[in-house]
Amino acid sequence: MGQQLTMPPQLQQAIRLLQLSTLDLQQEIQEALESNPMLERQEDGEDFDTSDPMADSAEKGIETATASNQESTYEEPTHSAESLEDGQWNESIPNELPVDTAWEDVYQTSASNLPSSDDDEWDFTARTSSGESLQSHLLWQLNLAPMSDTDRVVAMTLIDCINDQGYLEETLEEVHASLDPELEVELDEIEVVLRRIQQFEPAGVGARDLRECLLLQLRQLPADTPWLEEAERLVRDHLDVLGNRDYSLLMRRMKLKEDELRQIIELIQTLNPRPGSQIESSEPEYVVPDVIVRKHNDRWLVELNQEAVPRLRVNAQYAGFVKRADSSADNTFMRNQLQEARWFIKSLQSRNETLMKVATQIVEHQRGFLEYGDEAMKPLVLHDIAEAVGMHESTISRVTTQKYMHTPRGIYELKYFFSSHVSTSEGGECSSTAIRAIIKKLVAAENQKKPLSDSKIAGLLEAQGIQVARRTVAKYRESLGIAPSSERKRLM
């Protein structure tokens, strides 16, 4: 004897749809439409048919989706317990919430929100073309350059050794060893071909180190560029001193005044230390918000993005062909497809209702962030939302993964609103996100001649009642991509 936990197929499907992103869900819906003849997409302007041709049959307990094209205030129906047979596996939450929410029972979008080709804003290449790699960009320029066959082979080998940042990863000796001995190429010939490649775009490509990369870019500037000669001398002879930000030593070695050195450094800062990054090799990633939050009459409204999921319904004509007492293979197939269509529609409803519950609680908890920004973010963990909506933390984790909220402050993943807390001197709590925002604000307002150290930032936070250790400040600073104080020092 033994015990075994079994989930019904409709619950498994609902859980699987719950953790899908919007783009993945659209693909899943398209596959369901193609495989199940009972499912169909409702076009805009059509009246939704709520009649159920199988209402009196054995599948009576499974209902099809209903439609409501008018925006309404969110009122959650109460359920005493989960009902797996009806697909109502979402736990209940309190009826009265301080945040208004609204959604339609039928969730619509087209699988592709592309405008027509006649639209003035339509850009076919921006939406359909894939990114160009740095190697293909260099090979395209190589095909336009007059060169012997041997030199072209050497050039192609060199281009293969250039990484995505634009630097040559292999030494010339290693490139020479990798070439076919029958080519009889000398090392100095490879050097000449490399010089040709270094004249390609983007400027600085093919360099073997940072110094060479910056010098290549400086040499391609117009000859009448102010301070060009001094900038080349600084990069060639004193780049390590510049990296240490020892400006006093630089002024002594180059016999320059502070204002002159500042202008030279400003010229060097216009250069790109990673020239290959100018060539976008990855395809663009699009984010479709699942939830839209807006303020109306001093209240925050939470709505599902109606353009995120298409409207689905059961095809009434096909469903009418199902016969109650017929056990033939065709009728059994149609009956099964009808049941799967209803399960799928119900799973979509459950997904959107669960997403709405979680988003509503997040907005209610983080209204300070929506009003005032990151510094007003409150501490929030999955357990807080799970307790508020009466669900398990694993369900909240699925809902908040790869789901996005469109707010007046931008588009954020739902997980962005969750953060740990730090104690304050008054016995309260402060969100780590808020602390990061304060650190970013302090660094932005610091004296660039004397940037704030981690210890100094910790002291300023303590003065505001936030108790944070120096190593915690360093961790938050690094997560924001802010360099240490020694590297933030500027010459004013």
- Domains delineated in the chain: 62-112+288-412 (no CATH), 134-278 (no CATH), 419-488 (1.10.10.60)
pLDDT confidence tier of residue 284, bands split at 50, 70 and 90: low
Give the Å distances, CA to CA, from 325 to 61, 112, 320, 322, 383: 18, 41, 13, 9, 49
**What's the pLDDT at 107?**
38
Residue positions counted in the chain: 492
Least Cα distance to 431 among 412, 441, 416, 445 occurs for 416
How far apart CA 38 and CA 40 sit, in angstroms, is: 7
Long-range contact list for 459-464, CB < 8 A, 24+ apart? 461/435, 462/425, 464/438
HEC profile for 153-206? HHHHHHHHCECCCCEECCCHHHHHHHCCHHHCCCHHHHHHHHHHHCCCCCCCCC
> Rounded mean pLDDT of 205-234?
91
- Flag whether pLDDT at 219 surpasses 80: yes
**What's the pLDDT at 281?**
60
How far apart CA 262 and CA 47 sit, in angstroms, is: 69
What are the E-state strand segments in 226-385? 291-296, 299-304, 312-314
Per-residue pLDDT tens for 145-166? 888 888 899 999 999 999 888 8
Name the pTM for this structure: 0.59
pLDDT confidence tier of residue 215, bands split at 50, 70 and 90: very high
- Flag whether pLDDT at 5 surpasses 80: no
For 273, the token pair is 């230390």
CB 166 within 8 A of CB 207: yes
